[in-house]
Structure 1
Amino acid sequence: AVNPAAICKDGRTAADRLELLKESAGDMFKAGRLPMAIHMYTEAIKLAPSHVLYSNRSACFCAARKYPEAFEDACKCVDLMPTWAKGYARKGAALHGMDRWNEAIKVYDDGLKMEPSSRILEQGKKDAEKRRLAAGGEWKLIANDKTDEDETGRTVSFLKLPTLICKGPINGICVYDQERDVVRVMNADASYVRCSLNADKEINRAGLFGQPHGLACDGDFVYITDRMRCRVIKCDTTNGKLVAKIGRSGCEDGFFDEPNGLALVDTSVLHAGAADMTLFVADGKNHRVVALDATDLSFRYKFGKWGWGDGELIEPNGIAAHGDILAVTDKGNLRVCIFTLSGEYLRSIGAGGVDTKFEYAPVSVALTDSHLFVIEEPQGHDKDKPATGQAAHIHALDPHKGTVLRPPLAPPFSLNNKKKGCLYAVAVFNGCLYATSAYGVILALPR
């Protein structure tokens, strides 16, 4: 701290200048001029650091959505005055802003021990609990803000637009980055890339695939729908080499018209217990589901046809499996159809189905024994504008009854300090519910 009697360059004493800075900073904050308010509080802290000044600057950082900086100032405030309830309110607000709700609730509780009657702390705790409930729990950021180098050596975002995700080798993940047209095989926290498919186009300028809408992996191999060539391919996860392929444009057996989602299923139960894996393909413009032998991608059988009746489909897109059932998003009919692994129709969820209605076409789906998770297609969505409506939510439904299990999950886009973007894909594996969004964001919710 500076001697209050010291004379500043402008002729004022340090004490006078401190009061002027505090008063002006408060005025700037009220006027919404946050950068100027932060600057003035910073200058005041240089003169005489105090818990009040750190608290006020923390509030400015929070208002500017600079939550890590707000948290740092709030911690300093609490360290300087551990019995002051407002310091805990600032700390809780910063944690809430970063969507770290469990920690925020604990901080609010700590503050309430100091001042049990604090309305600010009580309300902060209620808000954090409400937001955590809306999100379904505390989500974890898996991939975001990591960097890579392009062919010129320029630093660019590691993931730009992840639109597909599935389980990868050794409990890792596989992600398709639509903006780069690359599939990355990574470890669980996306800190290490085991293999990148379609990245080296010097070898094959046309690439292995184009416009994939489906991704599946059995550990050793990754399966991808190549919509550009109307085919399904199988590649090695260690070197990215093409192992098998099937299809071209058409409606005959083994042909596709806009192949979409993939589901890799253990179908031993259909073959007297003998080891067997089947790859199910949502064949969009042929309005059907095709079953392939996962070993060599040979055709097995198909089910579904164009229409809106039981077992009929219009542009199936996403597909997921669990146990002995398949869930298929029926875009044209605004519903999800449930089938057995052999293709027997069981029920519909959505338009004309049970009691759930989708506002827009369901496009991505994940399935467990008790939950059906569904994302709807963004309608005219601009990723540079805040996400609204169902494009920003995940429906949680009962796959057997079609009933709503809870209000739609609202994953926290602010984990990357961006209150914008929409959801593209949902999947369940490794004990987590995963969701992908714009700006390279992959979120995981432990289940």
Structure 2
Amino acid sequence: MTGGFDEATVTAGREQSFRRPARSARAAVDAYGSHGGTRLALGAAVAAGILIAAQLVHAISIAPYFPPGPGPWPAWIGLAAVLVAGVSAVAALSQRVPDWLFAALVVALAVPVALDVAATAGLLHVGVTPTAAAAAAMVLMPVAALRGTIAPLAASSVLAAVLAAEALLQLPTAGRNVVLGLAVAGVALLPVALTVITVRGFRRLARREVDLSLVQSTVATPRSAVGMRASEELAQLDFDAESLLEDVGAGRVAIPLPPEKAELAGQLAARLRVRLIEGRTDTWLRHAVAESAYLSGRVEVTDPNGLAGKLAPSQREGLLFALWLIVGERSRRDSARATVLVGQVDGLVGSGAGFADTVTGSDDPYADLAIAIAISGLALRHLDAAMWDAVESVGTHRTTSNAEHLRVDILCRTDQPPRPMTSTRERGARTRET
């Protein structure tokens, strides 16, 4: 490919590092935290209430088999007190469960668990199993949706291990009824584990969709517009410069400037010059990659002349979506990396050896922009079919691959509307016709 993709250009592009802006990260966390937290916790609380009620019915049914005494009710009274206090605390904290509240909840739940285990010890041979202890684990279900999932799962695992140990200790006297005790231990762990799986999946989906929505906002920006990262840096530069000028104007800093203030002024001027120079080539593509939690660090953009800004909004969306499908799925493609090279197409018109002549199935002498996507850590057969539809909306493409690398070269027309995205079936039919 022509268009200045030499070693110096690639090195220059790699020297510029980008980080995701704090505003973008906070917006993504707030969005998926609210959707995957409060509303999901409500469903988990309803399911937990049903399971706790079932355990209470079971406690009533086995109460006659307890020896004379209070039976299982002290544990249930303690569990009810913990539930009331926990719900009140979460409501007072605007449906949040900070670390200190979770620790207090776990310690408080240990009381009814201990009372229930002590009340049912040695009674497994008559079919008496812990009920309040199993119900205590259900309390952790909505907690897993309101905070991190690791701690609730670990707490329920410890509780299940205690119940399993109690059942196994009664093996000589309980015999086959040990299976009932182990089943109670499983009942204490399984609902929390299923809740954790559900919450993690929902949060992953919400995080991806919110991140993609935030990144897609760069598609409609002007060619030379700054992104969130640049606007934050410019705002900080403006504040620092205004503070220095205000100190000088108020007489708090004498003129000529002291050495430390002079050094600060020089640093501000240098940062402003760098920001202005970078702003000429910081296109929507750089901002989209920098502001995405999924693309940042996995996609490298080399566009020294800021030519990606010439793409139409539909072409930008297609290119962004293609990159998203290549490296966006962390769970299956942790090793996938992509390098995007953007440059001019040289010698297309009237040249028999131009890049356009080598594109499979097309000879496009009107293309004026070339984009190369170099992919590593991902085989050709693992690419989603929708990725090719997205690439076709950008321009005419050609694919080359070997054992280690995959490269997609795209020819783009920036002065004419791009072709609409076509389905896989239509592309297959067009290939058969040719």
Please indicate, yes or no, whether the TM-score normalized by the shorter chain is above 0.5.
no
Structure having the higher strand fraction is 1
Larger radius of gyration: 2
- TM-score, reference length from structure 1: 0.29
- TM-score, reference length from structure 2: 0.30
Structure having the higher helix fraction is 2
